[in-house]
Amino acid sequence: MMHTTDRKANPEGRPASHLAAIDRILAAEEELVPSSGFAAAIRDRVREEAAVPAPIPFPWSRVAPGLVLVAGTIGWGAWQTMRFVGPAMQELARNPPPQIPATVLLQLQQAGWVVLALAVSWGAWMLSQRLVRRSGLL
């Protein structure tokens, strides 16, 4: 039976003989000593890191006006789009466009497939170029 003082010293509830065995095993281990020159190499590395100048701060004061301009332009463009799309959609609903001939639709479909093939080929080529650059083969 364990006493309350034993539980405070051994919170996991293991018997004292078990802890004594672990202490004997750890005491038998030889002490770890760093290799020669290790401490000096660490000190040198710390000195090198301390000598590195602070990074250059990002010039937010120069970038902020451009960001505000871009955000304003996008917002203005969205507003103008919404302003003109509504009436245009209503006009399109009242007066639908004339039917497009079947031959023109077939040619447009074929052109669409060609454009899709070119886009997929270009994307594969760009991906292969990026992978080659990252691998260091070129």
Distance CA 40, CA 43 (A): 5
> What integer is the mean pLDDT of 14-18?
75
Prediction pTM value: 0.36
Average pLDDT, the chain: 86
**DSSP secondary structure letter of residue 128:** H
Q: How confident is the model at residue 99 (pLDDT cuts 50, 70, 90)?
A: confident
> For the segment 106-121, what is each residue's pLDDT rounded down to a tens digit?
899 999 999 999 999 9
Give the Cα-Cα-Cα angle 29, 33, 35 (nearest 5 degrees). 140
DSSP state of 56: P
Q: Determine the 3-state secondary structure of 100 from DSSP.
A: coil
Q: How sure is the predictor about 17, in pLDDT bands with cuts at 50, 70 and 90?
A: confident
Q: Which amino acid is it at 5? A: T
pLDDT at 10: 60
Cα(first)–Cα(last) distance of the chain, in Å? 73
What pLDDT score does 5 carry? 47
Residue 87's SS3 state is helix
Dihedrals phi, psi of 25, to nearest 5 degrees: -65, -45
Q: List pLDDT tens digits, range 75-97.
A: 999 999 999 998 888 888 888 87
CB 13 within 8 A of CB 2: yes
- Check whether 59 has a pLDDT greater than 80: yes
Whether residue 12 is predicted with pLDDT greater than 70 in this model: the reply is: no
Residue with tokens 């760009």: 126
